[in-house]
Chain A
Amino acid sequence: MSSRLFVATRKGLFRLDRKRSGWAIGEVSFLGDNVSMVLPDRRDGTLYAALALGHFGVKLRRSRDVGATWEEITAPAYPPLPEGAEPDKTPDGREWPQRVELLWSLEAGREDQPGQLWCGTIPGGLFRSTDHGQSWELMRSLWEHPTRKGWFGGGYDWPGIHSICVDRGGVTIGISCGGVWRSTDEGATWETRTKGMYAEYMPPERRDDPGIQDPHRVVACAAQPDALWTQHHNGLFRSTDGGKTWREVTSVRPSKFGFTMAVHPKDPETAWVVPAKKDEQRVPVDGKVVVARTRDGGETFTVLDKGLPQANAFDLTYRHGLDVDGTGNVLAFGTTTGSLWISEDGGDSWQTISNHLPPVYAVRFAEGAADA
């Protein structure tokens, strides 16, 4: 099981190590700074941290010694507009910024492409590096897709790419609000994969429009990457054919609203969500923090609350705030009110690590080489 967890927060990056006495917060990097994402690269142990400095823009840092020291590397950036070109406009007429506002997702490439990294940004650009983050290339095939200008912001002012699932057959991404897309030719072309999803928050004529779906988080089972789960703005959806078709999962309790989702790395039938009350009231149902788990592909859910606060709790878990380790037994989730819980029994029971962290954006277990 993983014995190391990284927690990216509004005020720094925290490293937790599992010792004989239990989980403990250790190294803290970038204290005081906004860390939007962290990636412990399982392939070589390199650690990447994305910063969103309030004054000085987005930055990308890399560590070869699990966070003891860091170097600044190139952050993804948009190329200049061609001479005389007008900036793109969003559906509500605002100019689409040609400037990276947030590094929102960061993922390692395939095992046989050791230097490859993917980064999703706000506004909704997808970038790829083939040299461990030394340089980045905007995926123009997606950026210049005619439907891109129809995407709109969800949670932020601009649309953004928050989910990147890499497998041997291709790359699947999730965009709020721009749907689910897949490329099977190294990013040369992209197609939408939202059939079966629908949008309650749009006029009826646009309900099934692929480019306006709001998948809050898309995750794939590592062992069976055609098995995908999505926590969507208006509920859960599941696919068993690589996203070609989706089926709504209606049995989730205590509510269908939420942001985050995790799937067991070996068992595609097992998945977890952290529900919140509803779109208009983004707090736990009845003040109780719970995790919902299915072990049968969404037919039934168990509400897990052992060790979690069951009164007057107002924690919200963001898109990247939940993670499961490579065994499927160890889970962690962190919240906007600075709580962090870990389970070592698949979610049956939870231990409180802290209730006093800065707002948590992302939690990620280190696997493989990063455990060294």
Chain B
Amino acid sequence: MPRVTFTQHIARHVPCPARDVEGRTVREALDAYFTAEPAVRGYVLDEQGVVRKHVVIFVDGHQTTDRTSLGDAVGEGSVIYVMQALSGG
């Protein structure tokens, strides 16, 4: 199962423990995560489900570019890192 982890910058505002979740894309994995931790959703995505401008997502060390549909594939052993961009602070 892919694992979703978060920068400590978000943890300062809302609890966001790392979790192993089901999913074959970033969207599926994050949806599964937000089902378990609904308060985290609004910190990562805006109200239209798009990645916030100053949030970046990596899969196994590679930055994703599909910020709207989040269609990047994730594997069984993938690690999804949700980080803050260095802009926007």
**A contact set with B: CB distance below 8 Å:** 53-57, 59, 72, 75, 77-81, 98-100
Contact = CB atoms under 8 A, between A and B. Distances in A.
Given A53-B43, A56-B42, 18 more contacts: A55-B85, A55-B88, A55-B89, A56-B43, A56-B44, A56-B54, A56-B55, A57-B42, A57-B46, A59-B13, A75-B42, A79-B47, A80-B47, A80-B48, A81-B48, A98-B47, A98-B48, A99-B46
* B contact residues, range: 10 to 19
Contact of A54 (B39, B44, B46, B89): B89
A246 B11 CA distance: 50
16 contacts: A54-B88, A54-B89, A55-B9, A55-B10, A55-B54, A55-B84, A55-B89, A56-B44, A57-B43, A75-B42, A77-B47, A78-B48, A98-B47, A98-B48, A99-B47, A99-B48
B52 A56 contact: yes
Contacts of B39: 72
Nearest to B39: A72
Interface string B7-18: 001100110000
Interface of B: 9-10, 13-14, 39, 42-44, 46-48, 50, 52, 54-55, 84-85, 88-89
The SS class assigned to the B binding surface is: loop
A80 B49 CA distance: 9
A99 B48 CA distance: 7
A55 B39 CA distance: 16
Given A56-B13, A72-B14, A78 B47 contact: yes
Contact of B55 (A55, A80, A99): A55
Contacts of A53: 13, 43
A84 to B, nearest CB: 15
B42 to A, nearest CB: 6
Shortest 6 CB-CB distances between A and B: which pairs?
A77-B47, A56-B43, A55-B54, A55-B84, A54-B88, A54-B89
Contacts of A100: 47
B57 to A, nearest CB: 13
Contacts of B13: 53, 56, 59
Residue of A56, A59, A75, A77 ringed by the most chain B CB atoms within 10 A: A56
A56 B89 CA distance: 9
A55 B42 CA distance: 11
A100 B46 CA distance: 8
Contacts of A75: 42
B53 to A, nearest CB: 8
Contacts of B44: 56
Contacts of B48: 78, 80-81, 98-99
Contacts of A98: 47-48
Contacts of A99: 46-48, 50
A55 B9 CA distance: 9
Nearest to A57: B52
Nearest to B44: A56
A122 to B, nearest CB: 14
Contacts of B54: 54-56
Contacts of B85: 55
Contacts of B52: 55-57
Nearest to A100: B47
A59 to B, nearest CB: 7
A36 B39 CA distance: 21
